Structure 1
């Protein structure tokens, strides 16, 4: 008996919903606002709780009838409620104006806090060694973890990863990456310190050989030490000596 009663109630509810949907037609409209972002605004029929969303042009379609109330809701616009009139369904250009929510700041103060960094805040210990990306990879691949298996052996043990990296050739490859990274750093430093005209006009290096000369210079350990000190006078003096030797190499190769 109870089962039959539930079935009857479900049938009545279904018929009511069907008749309710039959009374309504598709309403096409669009929203307008002082904003280029009109997509994603929710349009809700408060009577049926049917929901739609606007596209990138602000257009929407929803089942409704005169007397229904549409609710327009979005985080960037103020909520707007519109009671539909019969003429809204005859108007091809039915539109709803929305107002943008303005978040006004009372005051913006910009302060310069000198000396505030990760070390000063205690995030990084003072005197901590810093690594470049290539140096960090090499350090990770070669670091010995003395506590890796401390629970299985007295006094701990050494991680096998560095040994595996060594025998697989990964360590050698990472060392080459560090060397290349350092050369690239010195190349950029050299090019920032001296213009192309300096190499061509002052040092008399042919334009097509300038890049080769830069590589030749940064291969010299003594020169990179001076270059890294950023002492322009000393760097320029040693660069002149290297230019003489490099031009001799060019002359020999061109014979």
Structure 2
């Protein structure tokens, strides 16, 4: 009985030591049976990162309960909390889902398409191209006007000659786009505890910080998230 007890204790001790020891984890990132190169693989717990090679393969030091993040701008953000079974695998397979293509300046009327048809269009390249061509045709036809007798580029006597026209100031939303591209939709609510109403205010609050411009010059998922966590603490103190 004593021997069995000692054997059991040594077994669990061994398992515990394995789970707490880092090992070099090997894996491959795929999407629809295609390997993905250049995917950023981040060990959020250990604050280390690497990228997949041309064959979609990666190697990173990790241990049980570490959180791995997989990021690529054309694919949905993927998380994985490592288990002992994951660490025991000789080659971990990660499947990423492509982002749905966004159609710029294309409005699809709900009265014309139902949800099933919209889903079919979103995954059909030929239908997407047809919508873009129709949109371009509509833009051209709406710009055709009837001659009204006015001289093209004629002088506007109601315009003050000596006043310089005011330059239109374009809003710099590069940091906002960076945050949207790098962070999953539920990151603000689940990780930062910031609700939807406060999200826009918080991003503007971060954008004012000069450090946000450094992130624009050298985009990095890990650096961006660390920055957002720090700014979140400052943001909470202002409430």
Structure with higher RCO (Cα < 8 A, 6+ apart):
2
Tell me if both proteins adopt one fold, taking TM over 0.5 as the criterion: no
TM-score by length of 1: 0.34
